[in-house]
Structure 1
C-alpha cells in the first residue's frame, strides 16, 4: 500500500463514508516483544481508541470494527476470558471518550452467546451513546457472516411458511433487512491489518463491492496516519460496480 498522504482539506464527498476494519495482529505484536497475548489485546484496545478518534477527525460517518468472531471461541479459555474482560472494560469505561468523539455505539453480533452482564453493558452503552451524531461506531462481537446469512435465510423461510410473504417477493432488499446490519450502508472500504490478505468470514454480503486494503502494520500499532494512508489508496481507485470504467 502506498504511503502517500491525503491532500490538504480532503473532499469528504469522495469517501469513504463507511470504513470497516479487521483488527488483526494483537498476538503477533505481543509475541514479538516476549509478552503474553493479553498484552497485545490490551494494546489493541488502545488502538481502537485512537482510530475512533481519528475517524471522527477525518469526517468518516461510519466505522465498523471486527472485535470477536464466532470462530474465536475455539481459542484457549484464558485468552477468551481476557478478551471478554477487555470488552467489559471498554463498555464500562470508554463512554466518556465516545461522548467526546460524538460516537454512537452499536454492537453487532449474536448476543445469545455472551454473558448476561456483558449483554446488559452493551444495552446500557448503546442507550447512553444513542444521541451522539458525529460518527457511528459498530463493534462486531460474536459475529460470523455465514451464520448471519443463514439466520437471514431462515427468517425469510419462516415468513414464507406463515404466509406473510411469497418466495417470489424475496429480493436483495428484503434479504438485507434480515441481516444484523440492517439499516447500515455497506462498507466502501475494508481494511485488514497485520499483512494477512483474507476477509475471514466478515461482512461477506456487505463487502461485495468494498475496496480492500491490506496493510502490514499490526493492529496495536495502527493509528490515524495508517487510516489516512488507506483512505488515500481508496481515493486512487475507480469503483465500477461491475460496469465499464471511464
Structure 2
C-alpha cells in the first residue's frame, strides 16, 4: 500500500488533472509508521483539490468510530468544564477542587499535602467533610463557596458534538448505500451514517454491476425519498 501511495504522489499531473482530494478514514494510529506517514503526506498534498473527494477506509470499523467520537466528545466537554471552573488561590497556594465534595455541591480549596485531610469529632472518630460548613484542618482547607450549580444546567454532550468527531465527518452522510453480491448486512460499516439511508443489494458482483443496476437503485431511492426525509427530521 505504501508503494502505491508514493507512486501516485510522484505523478502529480494525475492528481491535478482530476482534482482528487484524498481522505484516509479510520484509526491510522494502528498502522505501521511508514504507511501512516505516506497517507498523511498524500492527504496534505491533495488538500487543495476541490473537484472530487476520494475516501479510503483503512483500519476502520463503525463501532470503533463511534467509540472514538464519544471519547473525543467527553474529552472536549471535560476540558470545557475545567476551563470554566478555573483555579483559585487560597493562603498563597493553588487550590484544588475536591471531587467528592463537588458532587455534594461544595467547592473546597486545599493544598496537595492536605488533600486527604479529615476532621475528628468529640469522640475521636474521623469523618469526611461532606457538609457545607467550615473545616479548618490546620488552616489549610477552607470552604470557598457553597454549591450553586444547578444540575439541570450541567453541560451535556449533544448529537452534533459526537458527529463532528466521527472519522467520516469530512463527508456528508450518504444518500444511498450500494453493496453488491446480494448481501443485505453492513458488516460494521457506516452504521451511524446510514441510519436514514436505503441499502441496495444487487445480486451482481462488483465487476458485473452496470448501468441498469444504478438506474434501479435511483428509482428505489426516489420511491423512499419522502419517508427518509421525514425520518431525518425526527432526529
TM-score (norm 1): 0.55
Once residues 168 and 225 of structure 1 are traced to their aligned partners in structure 2, the CA distance between those partners, rounded to angstroms, is: 51
Once residues 200 and 159 of structure 2 are traced to their aligned partners in structure 1, the CA distance between those partners, rounded to angstroms, is: 26
SS of 1:217 mapped into structure 2: coil
- Residue 144 of structure 1: CA displacement? 0.7
- Residues 4-57 of structure 1, C-alpha deviation per residue, up to 9 Å, x if partnerless? xxxxxxxxxxxxxxxxxxxxxxxxxxxxxxxxxxxxxxxxxxxxxxxxxxxxxx
- 1:137 and 2:54 are equivalent in the alignment: yes
- Residues 186-227 of structure 1, C-alpha deviation per residue, up to 9 Å, x if partnerless? 111111122211111111111111121112222344467755
- Residue 98 of structure 1: CA displacement? 4.3
- Determine if contact 1:160/1:167 at 8 Å carries over to the other structure: no
- 1:93 and 2:10 are equivalent in the alignment: no
Once residues 228 and 216 of structure 2 are traced to their aligned partners in structure 1, the CA distance between those partners, rounded to angstroms, is: 23
Residue 190 of structure 1 is matched in structure 2 by 177
Residue 159 of structure 1 is matched in structure 2 by 76
- 1:170 and 2:84 are equivalent in the alignment: no
- 1:205 and 2:192 are equivalent in the alignment: yes
Counterpart pick for 2:225 among 219, 222, 238? 238
- 1:128 and 2:115 are equivalent in the alignment: no
- Determine if contact 2:23/2:54 at 8 Å carries over to the other structure: yes
- Residues 86-137 of structure 1, C-alpha deviation per residue, up to 9 Å, x if partnerless? x334423345544433221110100111111211211121122222222111
Map 1:58-137 onto structure 2 (within 5 A).
87-95=1-9, 96-137=13-54
- The answer for unaligned runs of 5 or more in structure 1 is 1-86
Higher relative contact order (CA 8 A, sep 6+): 1
TM-score (norm 2): 0.57
Once residues 236 and 92 of structure 1 are traced to their aligned partners in structure 2, the CA distance between those partners, rounded to angstroms, is: 44
Larger CA Rg, structure 1 vs 2 = 2
Paired residues in the alignment total 158
